[in-house]
Amino acid sequence: MNYSDYSPKTIEDIVRLRRRISASGIPDKVTDVNLIVGTWNIQAFGGFHYDWEENPGSPKRNLRGLATIAEIVQRYDVIAIQEVKRDTSGLRFLLAEFLGDDWDVLLSDVTSGNKGNTERMAYVYDKRRVRPSGLAGEIVLPPPGPAMPVEQFDRTPYLAGFNAGGAKFTLLSAHIRYGDIPEDRIPELTAIANFTADEIRGRIADGVEERNPIVLGDFNIDAREDNPLFQAFCSRGLIVPPGLNNLKTTYGTEPKFYDQVAWFMGSLEMEFTGRCGVIDFVDAVFPEMSTFSMTFRVSDHFPLWAEFAIDRSAIQMAGVLGIDPAQPDPFGDIV
């Protein structure tokens, strides 16, 4: 959609939002050099109202809200989105009218049952920079033994593989159960930790498709340090990079750290640049409303991002020449 078609209030939102995006430190996308991966729980991302102005009825998200979402999403190469609903018209319109032909989506099916809250998982990606590898599927936990049933996730995690330049990586998006008793979330957090360690990391040496696994999504972890939920999530070796520690990922005065991006340190063939962060848009968009009302137009969660370097040419050339690529100016002797 052309920015000249936006409403004046939407343009003012975008101006303020771009300042917040810049302040987050998220870098520009550079082809064959870097990869920007992220996650965002977009609250009840379903239908929308086809109008720039407020609709007194339902749904409350309108074109102004979708424009805000598009402005953020387009800064990523691929972003995992949780809470996509059975009605995908808002997501489809976002892709067709705001993001355009260079963007596409992978979608899971709706998780059945009341616990699943009729939610899907989605990966929205920039086709100019990222290509699906062909690997995609919902996670089913293996039984502990013959004829022994195992409780599955309330909302089925969704795994997909991608290629970017010469790099191959796998994303596993999850939305862990919520509830008034935080300890009730521990079994699913433990299951994610075990599955990624045993079924993905443990089989990488066997030449499986799941290369460079990155786990991300809404894990409903209230706090990090000395927290049994966070400890369960990291119990098998998943590491959250220091730059994402103690970053509030939801609105409100009480800090919450629900959303995470993690991987097994030392096992990635891609290089994490150390740059990561969160985009806080509170008061930048829909400033005339209460923050609570704004969340229904945009979201009650903030998007996380992490940057990876995918240009391995220097490392590869150094390997051919028997040079340590980590030393200063490794090719300085070549004349």
The Cα-based distances of 290 to 37, 213, 282, 297, 303 in angstroms read 30, 39, 10, 11, 20
- Could you tell me the end-to-end alpha-carbon distance of the chain, in angstroms, rounded to an integer? 51
H or E element at residue 302:
none
d(CA 298, CA 318): 47
Amino acid (one-letter) located at 126: D
With 0-12 / 13-18 / 19 or more C-beta atoms within 10 angstroms meaning exposed / middle / buried, residue 5 is: exposed
H or E element at residue 293:
helix 291-297
pLDDT (tens place) for every residue of the chain, 335 residues total: 799 999 999 999 999 999 999 999 999 999 889 999 999 999 999 999 999 998 777 678 999 999 999 999 999 999 999 999 999 999 999 999 999 999 999 999 998 766 778 899 999 999 999 999 999 999 888 777 676 677 888 999 999 999 998 889 999 999 999 888 888 899 999 999 998 888 887 666 566 667 789 999 999 988 776 789 999 999 999 999 989 987 889 998 777 889 999 998 877 888 899 999 999 999 999 999 999 999 999 999 999 999 999 887 777 888 898 888 778 888 888 87
Q: Of 78, 27, 80, 75, which is closest to residue 215 (Cα–Cα)?
A: 80
3 state DSSP class of 83: strand
d(CA 221, CA 230): 6
- Greatest extent of the chain over all pairs of C-alpha atoms, in Å: 71
Amino acid (one-letter) located at 297: R
- Domains of the chain in start order, with CATH, are 3-321 (3.60.10.10)
Please tell me the pTM assigned to this model. Answer: 0.92
Per DSSP, the residues of 11-50 read HHHHHHHHHHHHHTTPPPP-TTTEEEEEEEEEEEE---BS
